[in-house]
Every structure is written in structure tokens, then in C-alpha cells.
A and B are shown apart, each in its own frame.
Chain A
């Protein structure tokens, strides 16, 4: 079919059935994102991953780019396979997006363990009754409000947020001079009808997912919680890609910040609607994110985070008015950005430490949140030492040949039963790929059953090995989409798990400890919640301790952010913890290399 120049060009995306007119020079990936059609783009469209593979099924098929020519076999190119970020369409085409590239994560678990804390919000509401203005008493609205407040409270010098002042006349008159003032220290941040519920918002700002929690600041109960995908994913799945994009292009930095704000506003509005609230009732916000997410969110420069020596703009706590960042809340509400510990150990880790009560922990504990960057803390004798391991995305299914998000059809667990593979997928659907927990299980299961030798080499004679282009691969599922696990995939897992375990060993060595001396290993984070600890120990990601010493606690960072929102005391504790944590730098540390060398294989080389 040739392109008819009188017709507008259109790209039609299957199976969604959405169509859009491509803009000149735009990649297909960009067109799809504009059309709000989901195509995974782990590397942010730089052409170095394979998450954006698509299939031209009709109309014009663009010629392959040089890098796609290296990437696909001639047959695949001929049949219309391309990477969405590596091609642009000039004519009309029909594009099929395979399930693996469409998958949206179902594992946006936001809840951590249960907790209770004495609510002790940083904002307070004070009910006041003002005298009506009259010719005898013509004082300004604000002065009369202050007068009333000073009758209720120890007199002080009150100030008012300008936005709250703008609304003041209306609110006072509509409520017949009986209102509640919401105050934060000496500042009036909102004036509302009496008995308005005080609501706070805690945000666990992850690179992949964002957890949102609305809490009642008086009772401490969670009103609603939800998880959304971080919409910055189009700029790459790891922080370094995001930092790279934001550092080289100021417009992109602004765009990325807006994406997150818009997504939060939209979802918070939905949560409020469902609970008869309005966003202007939100009088306090806490945001915990890694240093890069923190900087992009607060519109701080990220340049320093990209290259050595990784200097953040700020590690201490930061207060910003919500409106300054475009977040829809009460007029003068502030955002408390949870302090970072170092360039790659961010406020989300600080929040996690609060979530696991690190400040009262007496035992010797390793706490880690596994992700593209895995932050690890060792709690020992009242001291906290932290570091960040650049584990990469392999353990989350990224940069794995058949890797995918934890969505329907993702293999989430694998066991070997005698000669057979026992595969379980999310939603019990036909397998289309592997998510992180599946990657871990496959590696462990094949290692235990002789498919991998201790150095990670695939055994050609193994029962589930097949040859693909003369390379041995594990065949996990044959069907509409074949699911295989390649030698390169095994190598990626080895590097990822090696770097995490080397980080653990470095922390232990630094404190003069052996892993046997650990009372507890706390695995936090949404990902860590789904993995099999047994598999993680088998492949040496975690030290070989009795299983009862491990605890999978879910989203401790989210829990921590909520606690920091609800309790002034814990907010100070968090700031304190971040300030007194020692950050152990691995870069340039020869001991890291030493440990790494011994943790890459499935058993120690000596």
C-alpha cells in the first residue's frame, strides 16, 4: 500500500484502536505517547533497551534505522518489526503493540505494615467567632481574625498566607463570621467553615510508581490510598536517564515536573470525590522520594546528580508552598520534602527508616529496598550506615530479553518439579514475559536443577535448554509469544544481585560484622514484597540465613511518609535520622570491588 498524499497521514494503534496524525520528525514512540497509547520505554527512547518493540501490520512500514538493522534479524525486519523509538512514520500505518510493551504494572502496592501513631499534626485548626465589621468597629478582616485568635490562643504575631488572605472576605461573610483558621506555627494558611475535616496528603514519590495517601490529621486514619504509575517513565525507567534528560534540557525538566504534578492532582481529585472531600481541605503535604525525584519535583537543578561527585542541591528538609509547585491544596498549605541522606540515598529511604522504626531499633538489622538503585541501611548499636547499590533494572524485569512489568501474563514464579516447569503467571493468563520475581525464581530454579553452573553458564544439555541462533537459552513457554531466558539475562541478574550483596557485605565489613550476626533482614518496597526470599538466598542476593530472620514488609517508605505527615515528633526524628546516618561511599572503594568479585557468581569462586 502506498501513501496517498491527499489523505491526512494517520497511525492506527492496535489493539486500542486509537489513531493519531504523526508530526514531522516525531518518533513513533512520541506519537504514541501523544495519543496516550501505552508503549513501554525503559531507556526513555534512547534505543538501548528493547521494551518498545512494535509490529507494523499494515500501511507504510518505515525503513529500519541503522541501530534497528543491527538489533533485529533480517526476517523480523522484513516482517515489520521495529523499535518505536527508532522509527518515524511519514505515511499512514497500522501498528500492533505487543502485550509485553503494553503491560501496565498491577503491582502498585501502596500499603505497608499496619501502624498506629498518636496524631500530632503540624497544622492546627482553631474555631473563632469574629465581630462583624461596623462603622464603630471598622478594623480590617485580618485584624479582626487575629483579635479572635488571640482570645483563643496565647497571643502571638500572626501572619497570613497571601492566598488565604485573598479568600478571607468571602469565607468570613459566607460563614457568618464563624470560621476555623488553619494555622501552621504563627501562619494562618487557610480559613474554612467550622468543622471542616483537616486532611493531609502523603506522597511516596517513586521512580516507577507513586503512592498517594489521604489521611485525617486528627484521627490519624487513612481515608484513601492509591498507586499510580510515575508518568515520567517516557523519559526512561531509571533515575540516571531521568537526570540525564532533565539536566540537558530545561524544558524537559519542567515537563517532567508538570507530568507528576498533573498526575497527582488528577488522582487526588478522584480520591477526594470518592470521600466527599475537596482538595482545598488538604492542609499539609509530605513528599518522600529519592534524591533525583525530589529534585525534579521541587524544581531544583539536577545537573550535579548526574556525574561524580554527585552533589545534591540540598539534603536537609525543604518546605515549599504547594501552589508554587502547582499542587491543588488549601491556599497556604506547604509541602514538607523529607530530607535526603546523600546523592543516591534519598528521602524515600529516610521515610523507610521511619517506617521500620529505625530510631528505636535495638537489634542488628539490614534494611533494604530493592530497585534499580537499591538502598541499604545497617542498623547496629544505635548507628545507621547507608549506601546505594546500582543494581540496575534486571531484578525488576528491565533489560531482560523477555522482561516486563508485573502485569497480567507476566511469569511471577517458577518452580521445578521433577522434570517439569511449574509456571505461575499474574492473573493466570497465558505467559507473555517475565517480571522481577519471575526473573529471580527462574535463575534460582535453573541453578538448583543444574541448568546453570555456579559461574552462571547455561548448560547446553539441560532439559529446558534450546538453541536459538546457536546460543543456548532456557525455553519457559512456547506459544503465541515465546518466553525465553538467555545467557545475557543470566549475566544481568548476576551483576545486579552481585552489586546488592556486595553492598550488604561492605556494610557488614565496615561494622566488623558477619552476616550470621544479623538479627533481622528487612526487605522493604513493593518489589521486595513479591519476591521469594528462598530464591533470593539461593542465588546469593541475600545472605543464607534461616528464613525466619527475613521480613517482607511492603511499602515501608509509604508508611514512613504517612507517619511523618501525622506526627510532628516523627517528622523531627526523620530529619534527625537523615542527618546522623553515615553514608558509605563505594565508588573508589577497593573493598567494594573485592566483594563484588565474590558475589557475582552463584557460589564464591574460591
Chain B
């Protein structure tokens, strides 16, 4: 690994937003392979994730890292499309995610979306206060392997239950795994809503997906 690559990874891992973006831009400007660059970003993000899990980082770092990478991919992604027409980056699988209806909390969901994305999943984010029908339509359209429901209000657990029941009623339940997260979720809540699993943070969302999708493959 070149010094420059390592430097980018370190800058991202150390939350040095300005320097990281500057370096990424200059690398891209001098013709660096955008795919490879994003790969380094992912490596940097892995470090961020590990530091989060060890307690060194907290939520602001995850959020900021998210912004940093969004900024870098804004420049890198169009270059990828230029260089490899049609060569859509292979994804590990599709995940649909959204904050259930009645709930508007999205910080947690955004971090989950971002971590899944950086780990190679195609994520369709339906946003906040998502009506049951929007989930159903989106599942029909995108045929995801996993659906993630987020909600922070105690009363959102009822919305989760409703959403999962509707997915079942639409005959779509058997083809997908459903995970829930946000707020005070635990196994009792998981059981109440009828989900397959619950996750306490974005890392667990990633490992849940990789567990399921590997098992299916």
C-alpha cells in the first residue's frame, strides 16, 4: 500500500474531514482509480466502525464520517460511471430501510444506511414516517433480501408490528428477513413485532445482513 493510500485511510479514521476531502480530491484529479479510492474510504470506515465499537468513537464521529464519505463519493461516483460504463459495482444484496410511520427519528437509520452502503449492500432508503404501503410497493419493486425497520418512539413498535403484518398479508414475508432497530428494542420487542432480529447499532445491522445473505448464497 502506498503512503498516499495509507494517509487517506488514516485521515478518514482520524476524522480529519478537511484534509481527507482535500487529499481524495487531489488523488482523483491526478487520475487515481475512483473504485480503488472508494475502497480506501471503506477501509478507513472500517477503522471508524471498530473504534465506535470499542467506545473510542461515539455517534458524532459516525455521523461525520458519513458526511465525509458522502462528500468524497459525490466526486468519485460519476468518475466510476465514466470509466466503467454499465459495470455496476457488484453488490452483496439489496436492503430496504425506513423509519416506520408515526416516527421521524432518522439519525440512527441514516447511520445504518450508510454503514450498509459502505459494506457493499445496495440500500434503498425510504426515509421517515414511511407508510405501510410504501414498504410493500418497494419490496415488490426491488425484491430485497432484507428489510430494516427503524423507530425510536415506544409507540413506533406498534407501527413496526403493523408493517410486518402487512408484509405478511401481502404474501411477501417468506422471501425476506426483517430486522428492527432504534430506541429500546430488545428480544421482547422483536417478538412483539414479529421481526427476525433486532440490532442495537449499525455494526450489528451489517453483521445481521451478512449472516443472512451468506446463509442464503
Is A593 touching B104 in the complex (CB atoms < 8 A)?
no
- Measured between C-beta atoms, what is the minimum distance from B178 to chain A in Å? 21
Which residues of B in the span 4-50 have a Cβ within 8 Å of any Cβ on A? 15, 17
Is B153 touching A307 in the complex (CB atoms < 8 A)?
yes
Interface residue? A455 (CB, 8 A): yes
Which stretch, B71-79, B84-92, B168-176, B182-190, touches the partner chain A? B182-190
Residue from B58, B102, B106, B186 with most neighbouring chain A CB atoms (10 Å) = B58
Which stretch, A99-107, A429-437, A594-602, touches the partner chain B? A594-602
Cβ contact of A306, chosen from B17, B59, B155, cutoff 8 A: B155
Which stretch, B60-68, B112-120, B142-150, B203-211, touches the partner chain A? B60-68
Cβ contact of A597, chosen from B64, B156, B187, cutoff 8 A: B64
Cβ contact of A601, chosen from B60, B128, B184, cutoff 8 A: B60
Is B60 touching A457 in the complex (CB atoms < 8 A)?
no
Is B102 touching A457 in the complex (CB atoms < 8 A)?
no
Is B156 touching A600 in the complex (CB atoms < 8 A)?
no
Q: Chain B 98-126 against A: per-residue CB contact (8 Å), 1 yes, 0 no? A: 00011111110000000000000000000
Interface residue? A487 (CB, 8 A): yes
Is A308 touching B129 in the complex (CB atoms < 8 A)?
yes
Is B154 touching A308 in the complex (CB atoms < 8 A)?
no
- Measured between C-beta atoms, what is the minimum distance from B67 to chain A in Å? 8
Cβ contact of A605, chosen from B64, B155, B187, B188, cutoff 8 A: B64
- Measured between C-beta atoms, what is the minimum distance from B130 to chain A in Å? 11
Is B56 touching A596 in the complex (CB atoms < 8 A)?
no
Write out the residue numbers on chain A whose beta carbons fall within 8 Å of the beta carbon of B64: 597, 605
**8 additional contacts (CB under 8 A) given A48-B186, A306-B102, A605-B61:** A66-B188, A306-B155, A307-B101, A308-B104, A457-B55, A597-B59, A597-B63, A597-B64
Is B104 touching A48 in the complex (CB atoms < 8 A)?
no
Interface residue? A119 (CB, 8 A): no
Chain B residue with the shortest CB-CB distance to A458: B55
- Measured between C-beta atoms, what is the minimum distance from A503 to chain B in Å? 15
Given known pairs A48-B186, A66-B187, A244-B155, the reply for A307 and B103 (CB within 8 Å) is: yes
Cβ contact of A455, chosen from B17, B58, B107, B129, cutoff 8 A: B58
Is A455 touching B56 in the complex (CB atoms < 8 A)?
yes
Given known pairs A588-B104, A605-B15, the reply for A240 and B153 (CB within 8 Å) is: yes
Write out the residue numbers on chain A whose beta carbons fall within 8 Å of the beta carbon of B60: 455, 597-598, 600-601, 605
Is B187 touching A70 in the complex (CB atoms < 8 A)?
yes
The CA-CA distance from A25 to B110 in the complex, in Å, is 42
The 9 closest A-B pairs by CB, nearest first: A307-B102, A587-B104, A306-B155, A48-B184, A597-B63, A597-B60, A600-B60, A605-B60, A308-B102
Main secondary structure of the interface of B (DSSP, over half): loop
Interface residue? B163 (CB, 8 A): no
Cβ contact of B154, chosen from A240, A494, A593, A596, cutoff 8 A: A240
Interface residue? A456 (CB, 8 A): yes
A-B pairs with beta carbons under 8 Å apart, 16 shown: A46-B154, A66-B187, A67-B186, A247-B155, A307-B155, A308-B104, A455-B58, A456-B58, A487-B55, A494-B58, A593-B63, A593-B106, A597-B59, A597-B63, A600-B58, A605-B15
The CA-CA distance from A606 to B105 in the complex, in Å, is 24
Q: Chain A 448-474 against B: per-residue CB contact (8 Å), 1 yes, 0 no? A: 000000011110000000000000000
Is A455 touching B57 in the complex (CB atoms < 8 A)?
yes
Chain B residue with the shortest CB-CB distance to A495: B59
- Measured between C-beta atoms, what is the minimum distance from A450 to chain B in Å? 16
Which residues of A in the span 571-606 have a Cβ within 8 Å of any Cβ on B? 587-588, 593, 596-598, 600-601, 605-606
Interface residue? A491 (CB, 8 A): yes
Interface residue? B94 (CB, 8 A): no
- Measured between C-beta atoms, what is the minimum distance from B179 to chain A in Å? 19
- Measured between C-beta atoms, what is the minimum distance from A375 to chain B in Å? 18
**Interface residues in chain B, defined as those with a beta carbon under 8 Å from any beta carbon in chain A:** 15, 17, 55-61, 63-64, 101-107, 128-129, 153-156, 159, 184, 186-188
- Measured between C-beta atoms, what is the minimum distance from B104 to chain A in Å? 4
Chain A residue with the shortest CB-CB distance to B104: A587
Interface residue? A241 (CB, 8 A): yes
Write out the residue numbers on chain A whose beta carbons fall within 8 Å of the beta carbon of B56: 455, 457
The CA-CA distance from A135 to B159 in the complex, in Å, is 72
The CA-CA distance from A240 to B129 in the complex, in Å, is 18
Is A308 touching B103 in the complex (CB atoms < 8 A)?
yes
Chain B residue with the shortest CB-CB distance to A456: B58
The CA-CA distance from A182 to B4 in the complex, in Å, is 86
The CA-CA distance from A487 to B56 in the complex, in Å, is 11
Is B107 touching A600 in the complex (CB atoms < 8 A)?
no
Chain A residue with the shortest CB-CB distance to B62: A597
- Measured between C-beta atoms, what is the minimum distance from A539 to chain B in Å? 14
Is B59 touching A600 in the complex (CB atoms < 8 A)?
yes
Is A491 touching B58 in the complex (CB atoms < 8 A)?
yes
- Measured between C-beta atoms, what is the minimum distance from B57 to chain A in Å? 6
Residue from A67, A244, A308 with most neighbouring chain B CB atoms (10 Å) = A308
Is A455 touching B154 in the complex (CB atoms < 8 A)?
no
The CA-CA distance from A47 to B188 in the complex, in Å, is 10
- Measured between C-beta atoms, what is the minimum distance from A291 to chain B in Å? 15
Is B58 touching A307 in the complex (CB atoms < 8 A)?
no
Cβ contact of A593, chosen from B102, B103, B107, cutoff 8 A: B107
- Measured between C-beta atoms, what is the minimum distance from A158 to chain B in Å? 48
- Measured between C-beta atoms, what is the minimum distance from A104 to chain B in Å? 25
Q: Chain A 223-250 against B: per-residue CB contact (8 Å), 1 yes, 0 no? A: 0000000000000000011011001000
- Measured between C-beta atoms, what is the minimum distance from B113 to chain A in Å? 14
- Measured between C-beta atoms, what is the minimum distance from A40 to chain B in Å? 17
Residue from B17, B105, B187, B188 with most neighbouring chain A CB atoms (10 Å) = B188
- Measured between C-beta atoms, what is the minimum distance from A284 to chain B in Å? 36
The CA-CA distance from A306 to B153 in the complex, in Å, is 9
Write out the residue numbers on chain A whose beta carbons fall within 8 Å of the beta carbon of B154: 46, 240-241, 244
Given known pairs A455-B56, A455-B57, A456-B58, the reply for A596 and B159 (CB within 8 Å) is: no
Write out the residue numbers on chain A whose beta carbons fall within 8 Å of the beta carbon of B17: 606
